[in-house]
Amino acid sequence: MSEQQNLDPQQSVEPNGRLVGGTEYSWCKAVPGGTGITVLALLLSKPSDLSFLNNALHKLQNTHPILRSKLRFDTTTNSYSYITAPIAHLQIQPFDLSSTSHILQNKNLSNPNNSSVSPFHLIVEHELNRNTWFNPDHSSNTDTDVFFASLYTLSDDKQVAALRLHTSACDRTAAVSLLRELLGLMGERDGERTHTELERQEEVSLGIEDYIPSGKANKPFWARGADILGYSLNSFRLANFNFRDVDSPRSSEVVRLQMSSDDTDRILSGCNSRGIKLCGALAAAGIIAAHSSKKSLTDGQWEKYAVVTLTDCRSLLHPVLSRHHLGFYHSAILNTHDINGGEELWELAKRTYMSFANAKNSNKHFTDMADINFLMCKAIDNPSLTPSSSLRTSFISVFEDPVIDHSNKLQQDIGLEDYLGCSSVHGVGPSIAIFDTIRDGQLDCACVYPSPLHSREQMQELVEEMKRVLVDGSSCVER
- Domains detected in the chain: 17-191 (3.30.559.10), 214-474 (3.30.559.30)
pLDDT of residue 7: 43
Residue 323 exposure: Cα atoms within 13 Å on the Cβ side = 10
| Alpha carbons 201 and 196: distance in angstroms, whole number | 15
pLDDT of residue 395: 97
Read off the pLDDT of residues 153-175 as tens digits, 9 standing for 90 and up.
999 999 999 999 999 999 999 99
pLDDT bracket for residue 194 (50, 70, 90): very low
H helices within 82-142, ranges in order?
Answer: 97-110, 119-128
pLDDT of residue 161: 97
pLDDT of residue 478: 67
The values of phi and psi at residue 120, to 5°, are -60, -45
* 321: pLDDT strictly greater than 70: yes
Angle value at C-alpha 22, between 226 and 435, nearest 5 degrees: 90
* Strands (DSSP E) found in 196-341: 251-258, 303-312, 330-339
* 2: pLDDT strictly greater than 80: no
- From the list 399, 398, 468, 406, the residue with the least C-alpha distance to 442 is 406
pLDDT bracket for residue 76 (50, 70, 90): confident
* 391: pLDDT strictly greater than 50: yes
pLDDT bracket for residue 134 (50, 70, 90): confident
Q: Please give the average per-residue pLDDT across 53-58, as a whole number.
A: 94
Structure-model confidence comparison of residues 431 and 11, the more confident one: 431
| Helices 172-186 and 50-63, packing angle to 10 deg | 130
Q: Please give the average per-residue pLDDT across 89-116, as a whole number.
A: 87
Residue 389 exposure: Cα atoms within 13 Å on the Cβ side = 10
pLDDT of residue 83: 94
| Alpha carbons 95 and 92: distance in angstroms, whole number | 10
Q: Please give the average per-residue pLDDT across 300-315, as a whole number.
A: 94
pLDDT of residue 17: 82
When the pLDDT of each residue in the chain is averaged and rounded to a whole number, the result is 89
* 201: pLDDT strictly greater than 90: no
Read off the pLDDT of residues 392-428 as tens digits, 9 standing for 90 and up.
999 999 999 999 999 888 888 899 999 999 999 999 9
| Alpha carbons 161 and 248: distance in angstroms, whole number | 30
200: DSSP letter: P
Structure-model confidence comparison of residues 279 and 189, the more confident one: 279
* 476: pLDDT strictly greater than 90: no
Read off the pLDDT of residues 255-282 as tens digits, 9 standing for 90 and up.
999 999 999 999 999 999 999 999 999 9
Read off the pLDDT of residues 441-464 as tens digits, 9 standing for 90 and up.
999 999 999 999 999 999 999 999
Q: Please give the average per-residue pLDDT across 305-318, as a whole number.
A: 97
pLDDT bracket for residue 141 (50, 70, 90): low
Structure-model confidence comparison of residues 138 and 455, the more confident one: 455
Task: Give Cβ neighbours of residue 28 (< 8 Å, ≥ 6 apart).
Answer: 20, 71, 73, 80, 166, 168
Read off the pLDDT of residues 327-381 as tens digits, 9 standing for 90 and up.
999 999 999 999 998 899 999 999 999 999 999 999 999 999 999 999 999 999 9
